Amino acid sequence: MTASKIPILDVSLHGRPAGTITHLPGDQTLFAFDEAYIADENRPTLSLSFKDVYGGLLTSFRPVQTRVPPFFSNLLPEGALRRYLAGRAGIKGVREFPLLGLLGGDLPGAVVVRSADGKEWPDGDDHQHDEDEEHAMRFSLAGVQLKFSAVMESRGGLTIPASGAGGDWIIKLPSATYTGVPENEFSMMELARHVGIDVPEVKLVPVQAIGGLPIGADEIGGDAFAIRRFDRGADSARTHMEDFAQIFSVFPERKYERANYRNLAEVIWTEIGAPGVTEFVRRLVFNALIGNADMHLKNWSLIYPDGRTPVLAPAYDFVSTIAYIADEKMALNFVSAGVRKFSELDIHVFRRFANKVRVPEKLVTDAIEETRARFDEAWDKARRALPLTKGVVGAIEKHRTTLKL
């Protein structure tokens, strides 16, 4: 492989060059910051994972085998959805470099990744071109989670762009495995709003009313869950964000490991302060009360409204999972390996949590009491007014009898 043919991906942030990812011999990738980005003292923040212990910018990185570095790997779809999209594009799903080049025009946050030579398909992988490439971003019903971007039209309807990219809403179709998941998520998000948690606009949309669905998807029926993207603004302006798997440099499949809720709180306390920790505790308590056992590293994010300074991103992926899976184990350890069950959470655990994070105990206990009181008041109305099945309501009420909060 000659130097002139070494595949390179250009990484931009808010439309400005930020760095490159180079595909090296031996199927390795290497990220490097752009020199102008390094020299700019007012540069936008790409990720807290690139900060050193003194707050400076890390600029020396080791190559990664087969994959791209964790920050970029976490921008890509996971699991079956990744395999489907890669297969449609003729790309091997484990080869993240060409997949990132393909999907890099509409990633979470304000990052855009493009092939440096202008090719749509970066060199360095066996790509099989076929007539369906223009629809490679569409989603089929064959074993993937039906979750995709959509555009709100002037008449108020939602349509999936033919490219699958550029939407300002995320749509999730009904699950083939579990009943009433869209209604569950919509209800938990609206309940969270009434409790005082920062929640984006959400709605239930009849599947039949969504334009541009893949063939066969309109046969599902029922309602889909829709949430407005908080990383997109007016005229699709991009706001940067990153999840905590990116912050901790953890590959997506390790999102249930390598960190606990104390670690998240330490970052939030350092970067945001008391308002961030208060909101974080509020969400911890809320998800304990509804029995959401899936608040892993990728379900917590920071957002950068001014491009440089993080705040806790609005809440997302709030679902009462105990309505479907009778498991009270939280997605992450709470403080240490000794506390992971909802039933183990009490005021003493939260006080120890506050001491470990080195935040005032009163800040934490006040957030707990306020959230619990607001939840009790809101739940009494929500269980009758929101579109919840009797099974979900019953599961939450049974779960609450096991809690010490």
pLDDT at residue 130 greater than cutoff 70: no
What residues act catalytically?
294
Over residues 263-287, the pLDDT tens digits come to 999 999 999 999 999 999 999 999 9
pLDDT at residue 131 greater than cutoff 50: no
pLDDT at residue 197 greater than cutoff 80: yes
Over residues 1-39, the pLDDT tens digits come to 444 578 999 999 999 999 999 999 999 999 999 999 999
Q: What pLDDT shows up at residue 329?
A: 94
pLDDT at residue 122 greater than cutoff 60: no
Is the distance from CB of 209 to CB of 157 less than 8 angstroms?
A: yes
pLDDT at residue 136 greater than cutoff 60: no
Highest CATH level, class, for 238-400: mainly alpha
Dist. CA 395–CA 375, nearest whole Å: 16
Q: What pLDDT shows up at residue 5?
A: 78
pLDDT at residue 123 greater than cutoff 60: no
Over residues 319-345, the pLDDT tens digits come to 999 999 988 899 999 987 678 999 999
Percent residues over pLDDT 90 in the chain: 69
Q: Mean pLDDT over residues 127-150, rounded?
A: 47
Cα four-point dihedral sign 101, 106, 107, 112: positive
Q: Which position has the higher pLDDT, 80 or 16?
A: 16
Query: Per-residue DSSP letters for 162-188?
Result: TTS---SEEEEPPPSSSTTHHHHHHHH
Range with top average pLDDT, 89-98, 215-224, 289-298, 331-340: 289-298
pTM: 0.91
For the chain, the residue count is 405
**Continuous segment of H or E residues that includes residue 28:** strand 28-33
* Helix 274-290 with 181-195: angle, nearest 10 deg: 140
Q: Which position has the higher pLDDT, 165 or 365?
A: 365
| Residue 164 pLDDT class (50, 70, 90 cuts) | low
Q: Mean pLDDT over residues 134-151, rounded?
A: 51
Q: What pLDDT shows up at residue 157?
A: 74
Per the prediction, the chain carries an average pLDDT of 88
Q: What pLDDT shows up at residue 337?
A: 67
Q: What pLDDT shows up at residue 137?
A: 40
Q: Mean pLDDT over residues 120-148, rounded?
A: 46
Over residues 246-265, the pLDDT tens digits come to 999 999 999 999 899 999 99
Please choose, from the candidates 20, 23, 18, the residue with its C-alpha nearest in 3D space to the C-alpha of residue 7: 23
Radius of gyration of the chain measured on its C-alpha atoms:
22
Q: Mean pLDDT over residues 185-193, rounded?
A: 98
Q: Mean pLDDT over residues 94-99, rounded?
A: 89
Over residues 203-251, the pLDDT tens digits come to 999 988 888 876 666 677 899 999 999 999 887 799 999 999 999 999 9
- Domain ranges for the chain, please list them: 3-112, 147-234, 238-400
Q: What pLDDT shows up at residue 138?
A: 39
Dist. CA 367–CA 280, nearest whole Å: 9
What one-letter code names the amino acid at 121?
Answer: W
Query: Per-residue DSSP letters for 87-153?
Result: HHHT--TT-HHHHHHHHTTS-STTEEEEETTS-SS-SSS-----TTGGGTT---SSSS--EEEEEE-
